[in-house]
A and B are shown apart, each in its own frame.
Chain A
Amino acid sequence: MRRGLRRCPRRVAVALVLAVSPWPLAAAEVAGTVTAPSSVRPKPPPRYYMGPERSGRGATGARGGVEDVVVWLEGVDGEVRVEPPPPPAVMRQLDEAFLPHVLPVRAGGAVEFPNDDDYYHNVFSVMAGDRFDLGRYARGESSRQTFTTSGVVVVRCEIHPGMKAFVRVLDGPAFTVPAADGGFLFSGLAAGTYTVRAWHPTAGERSHTVTVAADGTARVALDF
């Protein structure tokens, strides 16, 4: 679907979404784009060389760009359709990195942390409200953590100091990670006023309030 959003004009994509929508066709929608900071290369190895299973040579994927943005719509209580759909609530541990680097989850929801590396990992957070320590576990094993408090939870691995990720816990159901081109769409909305917010771990938060009529489309551009 992300590819589709990239290739098709926005109106075509919206039309496709609405065509298969179970919600009334008259529903309002909020469409937008996010312009994020450029992705950055991974950090260099740690000051101390840490050996074959702690060398820091992992974390090869770019991050810090639009893939690290979470966008959500405030003021939504009921069902809402989101494009692209929110990523699954899974944060892998692979190549000495958490993947994805930023993951949104609804408050009360659980995130799986499978270890896909050949060596041990640990997952913990000391953020107030959602402190947890899942201990060390091996490849093929997974642990689950439920996040109850809305906000930002910094996740780390006690074994690999360079591993760090963010779980963005949100109260409402309307959230997602934008497509690669920064596009997103919330549809099936009732007419009204909504606040669109976007958050990036280093660039901070942006917001924009829009009013959308029934059958209407409000467009938002959020620039980091």
Chain B
Amino acid sequence: MLLLLSSAWLTAGVCVGDSAGDAGGEPSRATGAAATTESRLWLEGSLDLGTTVGGGGGERLNTLIRGDSNFDDIRLRLFLDVEVTPRLTLFNQFMIDPSVEVFPESFLRSYARWEAASWDGGEVLLQAGKIPTPFGSFAPRAYSDRNPLIGTPLLYHYFTALRANQLPADNRDLLAHRGEGQPADFGGFAGGGAERPFSGLPLIYDACWDVGIAAIGSAGPWEYQLAVTRGTLSSPRFRGDDNNDGEQLALRLAWVAAPGLLIGSSWARGPYLDRAVEPAVRARGAALEDFEQQIWGLDVDYGVGHLRVVAELAQNRWQVPTIRAAGGGLEPLEVVGGYLEARYAIRAGLWGGLRYDRLDFGRIDDGTGGGRRTPWEADVERWEAGVGYAFTDRVLGKLVWQQTRRSAPAALDDGFLAVQLTSTFGGVRP
């Protein structure tokens, strides 16, 4: 929170005396500053208007903790970027979604980037604040004007039944609540913790960034990132407070193997349990920090001609104090998830997009004493396909079909049609 406030104050200070960007979208200049050190400011935004047709529950699986979704009728994003000096830039984002009345702070993203060093072919940049998700390759495409479709891959938002602030009493308790990860589906575990309804844990929750620091940059064909955050990828601390005494460490290394081909690998590990379950954990002679989320992933981004293909694969495991193997030892909850996304430019401004993604859940002992093993959550797969058209440089339209299938015991097979119109305004950057 301190970092957020600092960034906001710095921004406010720089903005004094500034005017908004001119009609042409070029940056405005802070008055009274020397020519070589003057601050520059960009105010930009995007407006999404959309609607959906059909659907009998599948659409709801796109809903986030706050109650908003990429498929909402109206979403407004505002960006305020301030170049304090040529080496220091403050990035601020805020989203307004009329359908949401809670967690307004989760819509604020604010961080600073400082160029610590640069040389021919590389650089070291330091970021601090509420920083972009330090994992994988989807995050830059999370904005509607960069996303070839409308939805977000399951890997980055789908809620499992596991919770950070409430423990299942045992394996059977967890299995009884499969498919109830959405906030409105909350059933309530019996293992202790918060009583209020809340969502389950996604593998990665890109909708709310975490607070922390990161060193990012490149050296030749290599791209790297090292981040330390207060929360974890599945439970980011968007308010800046901490829910346990541990930090998450995240690493990423990517390689430009050939022109147009980027191969990356990410890894993150950190304690995810909330203090709400601390009494239950201590009663078992353990500490919150003994139980971690660990995730590693592989991503590939390839483009040639009019085609771009992006794929990600991630293997995730959560350690849970109350989930045990038949022999009595702790057994982690494992998930393998990934997606394959393609975008093809059919003609100027017209593209087709396709994404297939799925989550496959590992098996645990079913707790009946028979030694049977069963998936701890219902597997999910999703197709999303559609077309997009750039009416102008600033106005995009998309028409997509999203079909989601979920296996028993929370079986679902549902699809819906969605249309979205995106308009960007303000500065010249995306």
**Residues of A bordering B, CB below 8 Å:** 40-41, 43-53, 55, 57, 64, 118-120, 124-128, 131-133, 135-139, 154, 156, 158-159, 161-162, 164, 201-204
Q: Shortest beta-carbon distance, B132 to chain A, in Å?
A: 6
Verify A138–B218 contact, CB threshold 8 A.
no
Instruction: Check B210 for interface membership: any CB of A closer than 8 A.
Output: no
Residues A158 and B256 in contact, CB atoms below 8 Å apart: no
Chain A neighbourhood of B132, CB < 8 A: 47-49
B345 near A158 (CB under 8 angstroms)?
yes
29 A–B pairs (Cβ distance < 8 Å), ordered by A: A45-B125, A47-B81, A47-B93, A47-B132, A49-B113, A51-B254, A52-B122, A52-B219, A52-B221, A53-B256, A53-B259, A53-B262, A57-B118, A118-B259, A119-B260, A120-B303, A125-B348, A126-B391, A127-B392, A131-B349, A133-B349, A135-B306, A135-B345, A136-B260, A136-B308, A139-B259, A154-B393, A164-B428, A201-B24
Are the C-beta atoms of B260 and A120 separated by less than 8 Å? Answer: yes
- Taking the closest CB of chain A, its distance from the CB of B83, in whole angstroms, is 5
Residues in chain B near residue A57, CB distance under 8 A: 118, 123
Q: Is the Cβ of A138 less than 8 Å from the Cβ of B429?
A: no
- Residues in A whose Cβ lies below 8 Å from that of B27: 40, 43
Contact B254 A159 (CB under 8 A): no
Contact B220 A45 (CB under 8 A): no
Whole-angstrom CA separation of A128 from B395 in the bound complex? 12
A126 B89 Cβ-Cβ under 8 A:
no
**What CA separation (Å) do A43 and B44 show in the bound complex?**
14
A47→B77 CA distance, assembly (Å): 14
Task: Kindly state whether residue B360 has any CB partner on chain A within 8 Å.
Answer: no
Least Cβ distance of A37 to chain B in Å?
9
Q: Number of contact residues on B: which range applies?
A: 35 or more
**Which chain A residue has the least Cβ–Cβ distance from B260?**
A120
A-binding residues in B (CB < 8 A): 22-27, 40, 42, 79, 81, 83, 86, 89, 91, 93, 113, 118, 121-123, 125, 132, 139-140, 146, 216-223, 225, 254, 256, 259-260, 262, 303-306, 308, 345, 347-349, 390-393, 428-430
Inter-chain contact A133/B306, CB cutoff 8 Å: yes
The number of A-B residue pairs with CB atoms under 8 Å apart is 118
Contacts of B221 in A (CB 8 A): 52
Chain B's closest residue to A132 (CB) is: B348
**Most chain B CB within a 10 A radius of its CB, from A139, A162, A202:** A202
CA of A45 to CA of B392, assembled, Å? 24
A50 B140 Cβ-Cβ under 8 A: yes
- Contact A136–B304 (Cβ < 8 Å): yes
Complex alpha-carbon distance, A43 and B21, angstroms: 13
Known: A44-B81, A47-B81. A120 touches B259 (CB 8 A): yes
Out of A41, A44, A47, A120, which one reaches B79, CB within 8 Å? A47
Q: Is the CB of B259 within 8 A of A133?
A: no
A62–B201 alpha-carbon span in the complex (Å): 48
Question: Is there contact, CB below 8 Å, between A133 and B345?
Answer: yes
Which residues in A have their C-beta under 8 angstroms from that of B216? 49
A159 contact from B83, B118, B303, Cβ within 8 A? B303
Q: How far is the CA of A137 from the CA of B93 in the complex (A)?
A: 33
Cβ of B25: which chain A residues have Cβ within 8 Å of it? 202
| Contact with B260, one of A43, A132, A133, A138 (Cβ below 8 angstroms) | A138
- Rounded to whole Å, the gap between the CB of B30 and the closest CB of chain A is 13
Q: Do A55 and B259 touch (CB < 8 A)?
A: no
Q: A41-B86, A52-B222, A120-B303 are in contact. Are A162 and B262 (CB under 8 A)?
A: no
Residues of A within 8 A of B81 (CB): 44, 47
Tell me the complex Cα distance, A64–B26, Å: 9
B348 near A124 with CB under 8 A, answer yes
Identify 11 new A-B residue pairs, CB closer than 8 A, beyond the known A49-B216, A51-B262, A52-B121.
Answer: A45-B125, A46-B430, A49-B225, A64-B26, A124-B345, A126-B349, A126-B393, A136-B305, A139-B259, A158-B345, A204-B24
A49-B125 contact given A40-B26, A43-B429, A136-B303, CB 8 Å threshold:
yes
Residue of A nearest to B139 (CB): A48
Q: Which residues of A contact B305 (CB under 8 A)?
A: 135-137
* Docked CA distance A132–B348 (Å): 5
| With A52-B218, A133-B349 as contacts: A138 and B259 at CB distance below 8 Å | yes
A137 to B72, CA, bound (A): 37
CA distance A44 to B91 in the complex (A): 11
Q: What B residues does A161 contact at CB under 8 A?
A: 146, 429-430
Chain B residues within 8 Å of A43, by CB: 27, 42, 428-429
What chain A residues lie within 8 Å of B83 (beta carbons)?
44
Chain A residues with CB below 8 A from B220, complex form: 52
Shortest Cβ distance from B35 into A: residue? A38
Asked if A119 and B259 sit within 8 Å, CB to CB, the answer is yes
